[in-house]
Structure 1
Amino acid sequence: MDLIRLLQGLASRARIAFYRVSGMQIHGHVSLRAIEVPQRAQCITLENGAALDRGVVLLATSDTARIVIGSQVYINRHTMIDADALVEIGNQTMIGPFCYITDHDHSIRAGKPPGEGPLVSAPTRLGARCWIGAHVTILKGVSIGDDTTVGAGSVVTKSLPAGVVAAGNPARILKTLTDAES
């Protein structure tokens, strides 16, 4: 068991070294399992204590895209962050497995394939201490306030304030947290 942990730690350090050489901004100690960064590692910033599990994909679709992952953020398996402008995740946020977070979509025009038009982008931000359940989709231009929880399977199409619990498709606020609950 200790040998397995040692080997996993060495593999994580090798990945960190590779991504630093590729231009990724890594501040402090981070943990990277077998993640995927198909291109533009220089567009990604990871703060101290960030931990990304197996199968996480960080995709910057343009040279001006930014993905900023705050300190002590945990991103669970097979989550994809897809940025053309800015996707920012606040400190101490937890993101469940199989989530999709984006800041853009394709423009659509009658008689034209969606891939022919320009991308339509708007920054997407998740506040500090958020909890994003499994299989959540967060779309372009959404801001999620600090201390907000989004229930599993939700589709977030509009911004959510701080300190609420939201769920559904589209996500809607179910309750506001009190200091005793948060």
Structure 2
Amino acid sequence: MNQIRTGILATNRAIAGLNSRWRNLYYRSLGVKLHGYIWMRQVEIPRNFEDIEIESDCALDRGVVLLCSGEPLPHPKIHIRANTYINRNTFIDAIESLTIGKNCAIGPGCYITDHDHGQDLTLPPLKQPMIAKPTQIGNRVWIGANVTILKGVTIGDRTIVGAGSVVTRELPSDAIAVGVPATVIKYRGK
């Protein structure tokens, strides 16, 4: 019985690997800049493919959405650096510049953006102009499940953001931050 189970698991892994390779070829052909092999499990990139750059050895799990809107820019709107893992059902939404550093771990169900809408009282919500500020996540950052990171935020290297937090302002390197809004509660190694 264990041999059958082992065989089924091996077959499932092989199929998942082939599907991931097919997604690499498909998104490359549409203009996504993929450097090396990227592990992709049922990832969704609905448009503006040329605005996305992903470096080698990254993994994007099931249900990850990479969405770029607006006119093309001379630089990638979403740039994911090498060896980063993005867990299930995370939504990354950019119109200007959203960078995720090397060796990061992003938990499931996160929302990361570089923009929001204006607040003009004379306009209905869907007619509001978009307001963008670059969002940057440093290297070796660990983001817990269901974290929201808003526009204009910089998260320093090696910082940990606790599950369910909402990051509304800069977090320094080596910090541990939690809450709504996320607040530094201590520093790593201290």
TM-score band by shorter chain is over 0.9
**Residue by residue, what CA displacement relative to the aligned partner does 1:117-168 show, whole Å, maximum 9, x if unpaired?**
2200000000000000000000000000000000000000001000000000
Q: Name the SS of the counterpart of 1:175 in structure 2.
A: strand
Equivalent residue number for residue 27 of structure 1:
35
Equivalent residue number for residue 112 of structure 2:
101
Q: Displacement of 1:105 after TM fit?
A: 0.2
Equivalent residue number for residue 169 of structure 1:
180
Please tell me whether residue 122 in structure 1 is matched to residue 133 in structure 2: yes
- RMSD over equivalenced CA pairs, Å: 1.0
CA distance in 1, matches of 2:30, 2:99: 20
Task: Tell me if structure 1 keeps the 8 A contact 2:24–2:37.
Answer: no
**Residue by residue, what CA displacement relative to the aligned partner does 1:95-124 show, whole Å, maximum 9, x if unpaired?**
000000000000111131122122000000
Which of the residues 12, 15, 34 maps onto 1:7? 15
- Aligned ranges 1:23-102 → 2 under 5 Å: 23-62=31-70, 63-64=72-73, 66-102=77-113
Aligned amino acid, residue 28 of structure 2: R
Can you give the 5+ residue segments of structure 1 that lack an aligned partner in the other structure?
none
Aligned amino acid, residue 82 of structure 2: S
Larger Cα Rg: Structure 1 or Structure 2? 2
Please tell me whether residue 158 in structure 1 is matched to residue 169 in structure 2: yes
Structure 1 segments of 4 or more deviating over 3 A?
A: none
Task: Identify the range of structure 1 (65-74 vs 96-105) with the bigger mean alpha-carbon deviation.
Answer: 65-74
TM-score by length of 1: 0.96
Aligned amino acid, residue 101 of structure 2: G
Can you give the 5+ residue segments of structure 2 that lack an aligned partner in the other structure?
1-8
Sequence identity (%): 47
Q: Displacement of 1:82 after TM fit?
A: 0.2
* Greater share of residues in helix: 2
Residue correspondences, number? 179
Q: Displacement of 1:59 after TM fit?
A: 0.2
Q: Displacement of 1:44 after TM fit?
A: 0.5
Q: Name the SS of the counterpart of 2:185 in structure 1.
A: strand
